[in-house]
Amino acid sequence: MKTKTKIIGSFFHALILGAVSAFGHGSMADPISRSYEVFLENPQTPTSEAAKAAIGVGGTQPFYDWMEVRRQIPDYNYQAIIPDGKLPGVGLDKYAGLNLVRTDWPATKVVPGPKLCRFYATTVHDPSFFKAYITREGYNPREALRWADLVELPGAEATTLSGSNYYMTLNLPVRTGRHILYV
């Protein structure tokens, strides 16, 4: 079975339906996050409807700052600080465009099993750590992302740094339809 995922915002920009990142300066590059995807499309002349809509919410600047979609939260208690419905934009108004509930965010096709994922760090933090989540089977991408929609994936804590990239192997479970990888 194939799964589409995108990485959202910055709890590590990693949705398989677009990724999300919340942990450091940079973003998920594989699978690519929403913010990094919009930046690569060029915020001045985006090509996808999802990017155009996100820019319509907060302008172009959030997507030039794609590497800052993150939060530094005491004791890493992200669930207490980032509210349901605002996970892709990590609860920051500046990145509200990433929270748009759309079914046309660019997505990466994946299959169940080990997936080598890459976080591109514009500023390397050492030591650094990551947490990764994936939406539960039955997740509805037509609804705002909630913490209850996510289950933690092991493997993100075992990263390898090479140059400006952190690599982690995540064991993706069987999923059908569009899902989100949240790193």
CB atoms within 10 A of CB 113: 11
Domains of the chain with CATH codes: 3-182 (2.70.50.50)
pTM: 0.85
Helix (H, G, I), strand (E, B) or coil at 97: helix
Q: Within a 10 A sphere around the Cβ of 53, how many other Cβ atoms?
A: 15
Cβ atoms 150, 138 nearer than 8 A: no
Chain segment 88-126, per-residue pLDDT in tens: 999 999 999 999 999 999 899 898 999 999 999 998 877
The secondary structure of residue 93, as a DSSP letter, is G
CB 183 within 8 A of CB 119: yes
Across-strand partners of 169?
A: 116
**pLDDT, tens digit only, all 183 positions of the chain:** 333 333 333 333 333 544 555 456 899 999 999 999 999 999 999 999 999 999 999 999 999 999 999 888 778 888 999 999 999 999 999 999 999 999 999 899 898 999 999 999 998 877 667 889 999 999 999 999 999 999 999 988 889 999 999 999 999 999 989 999 998
- Can you tell me the distance from the alpha carbon of 67 to that of 21, in angstroms, rounded to the nearest whole number? 9
> Taking a C-beta distance cutoff of 8 angstroms, is the pair 98, 6 a contact?
no
